[in-house]
Amino acid sequence: MLPHEIIRRKRDGKPLSTEEIAAFVAGISSGKVSEGQVAAFAMAVFFNGMSRDEAVALTLAMRDSGDTLDWSDLPGPVTDKHSTGGVGDNVSLMLAPIVAACGAYVPMISGRGLGHTGGTLDKMDAIPGYVSQPDNALFRKTVLAAGCAIIGQTAALAPADKRFYAIRDVTATVESVPLITASILSKKLAAGLQSLVLDVKVGNGAFMAKSRDATELAKSLVEVANGAGTRTSALITGMNEPLASAAGNAVEVLNAIDFLAGRRRDRRLFEVTMALAAEMLIAAGIAGSNREGMARATDALDSGRAAEAFATMVATLGGPADFMDRPLAYLPKAPFEHAVAAGENGHVTGIETRDIGLAVVALGGGRTKPDDVIDHAVGITGLLPVGAEAVKGEPLAIVHARTRSAAETAAREIRAAYTIGRTRPSVQKAVVRRIAPGV
């Protein structure tokens, strides 16, 4: 099949067959399809969209462009979660061990930070000795020992997506729902999952700021994943403020340790984590209802089994054996701390969440280009949530920085991101909507 004829058909709004899509993706992998042809195909999809069947075919072709993992020998269900990204979103660090402690296996292949959002893999790299990109033998050993493993994608998983995304990134075709869907799911389904739960963020700190866009993406992901044979549902969750009270890498790891140990659990973070846990347990067939899933997840957390699973995962992947007990002895610490004082009395009525994420990037906790080196120590803690009382002169947050000037610059950005008003706002739901197959 000639690539330019496939492009022509999509350009003219005609449906593509499974064979045509598979041939084009094979050409992306082999290099037989040029960058110009990939860009033309992406633009044709951008303007004309794809049917569900086309999106399923694209997802499966990209999944099958490289290795696929097989967990059929495990004595329990294999499940995972994917988030579209947010600020202070360290959910995976608690969620994977909670679900593992309930009897599921969670081989969680995660990504690095993108734009203003933090990356789960960057957080795990803050733990000394932790091997975030192990070979398959160590990956399997960890999943068997702990029930979960949070690692990074290898080049052998869905390699067609890597080339396709790089070209989309420079041709203004990233914002296409079917292409986003295929990109996300091809990597996740290559991990050999039996079920998947999606956390689609919406709000001023999310890539999808509008509810209708987040809903469209969530529905596409759920329809295509189920069409590809993987039981999948989605939760749309709010990102109009940071999810945790910490944003950064080491500071979010410490926040997760405190959560697992029961020392501190931020309200919205707790709601989202437990809702996703219940959803994963239902998808995995361990729980028959949301109430049962919540009960099982709560027991795994409060009994300490989830903390034990996290500790085993860290130790098996090369981290300190006593990390759960002594995190401050191992996590990097920034030399400067700077309190961001509120300028007036009142209540927090709004937060420009994206600006909080960008402040972390500017501190060195994120990337402005792919080869940037992350400073895992920097970040922000003590972020007051929307609705909290603000007292003039008291902290809205604490900046952890490499230099005094960087801390002062970040403090100005954070102060500007907060809106203080006289009236306490109503509390927004952390979990906005559930998207099930066929909805």
State the CB neighbour count (10 A cutoff) for residue 142.
24
Nearest to 148 by CA among 214, 218, 96: 96
Q: How far is CA 184 from CA 53, 83, 281, in A?
A: 16, 10, 21
Q: Is 81 a catalytic residue?
A: yes
Q: Indicate which residue of 83, 154, 195, 230 is catalytic.
A: 83
Q: Cα(first)–Cα(last) distance of the chain, in Å?
A: 36
Separation of alpha carbons 231 and 252, rounded Å: 30
Tokens of residue 148, six digits: 């979960």
The answer to whether the CB of 340 falls within 8 A of the CB of 395 is yes
Query: Any idea of the CA torsion for 121, 125, 131, 134, to the nearest 10 degrees?
Result: 20
The answer to whether the CB of 47 falls within 8 A of the CB of 172 is no
Q: Is 187 a catalytic residue?
A: yes
Q: Is 183 a catalytic residue?
A: yes
Q: Indicate which residue of 10, 112, 188, 268 is catalytic.
A: 188
Q: Indicate which residue of 63, 162, 187, 400 is catalytic.
A: 187
Residue 18, classed as helix, strand or coil, is helix
Q: Is 161 a catalytic residue?
A: no
Q: Indicate which residue of 82, 112, 116, 231 is catalytic.
A: 82
Q: Is 32 a catalytic residue?
A: no
Q: Indicate which residue of 29, 183, 353, 381 is catalytic.
A: 183
Q: Indicate which residue of 29, 59, 120, 195 is catalytic.
A: 120
Q: Is 322 a catalytic residue?
A: no
Separation of alpha carbons 22 and 65, rounded Å: 9
φ, ψ of residue 430 to 5 degrees: the values are: -75, -40
Q: Is 116 a catalytic residue?
A: no
Q: Is 168 a catalytic residue?
A: yes
Q: How far is CA 169 from CA 11, 44, 120, 127, 198, in A?
A: 20, 15, 21, 31, 23
Q: Is 188 a catalytic residue?
A: yes
Query: Any idea of the CA torsion for 178, 180, 182, 185, to the nearest 10 degrees?
Result: -130
Separation of alpha carbons 78 and 185, rounded Å: 16
Please identify which residue in the block is written with the tokens 């075709």.
173
Please count the CA atoms within 13 angstroms of the CA of 128 that sit on its side-chain side.
14
Q: How far is CA 193 from CA 157, 177, 228, 229, 286, in A?
A: 13, 22, 11, 10, 15
Q: For the chain, what percentages of helix, strand and coil (3-state, to nearest 5) are there?
A: 45, 15, 40
DSSP per-residue codes, 271-320: HHHHHHHHHHHHHTTS-SSHHHHHHHHHHHHHTSHHHHHHHHHHHHTTS-
Separation of alpha carbons 144 and 121, rounded Å: 20
Separation of alpha carbons 271 and 268, rounded Å: 5
Separation of alpha carbons 301 and 310, rounded Å: 11
* Active centre residues (catalytic): 80-83, 120, 168, 183, 187-188
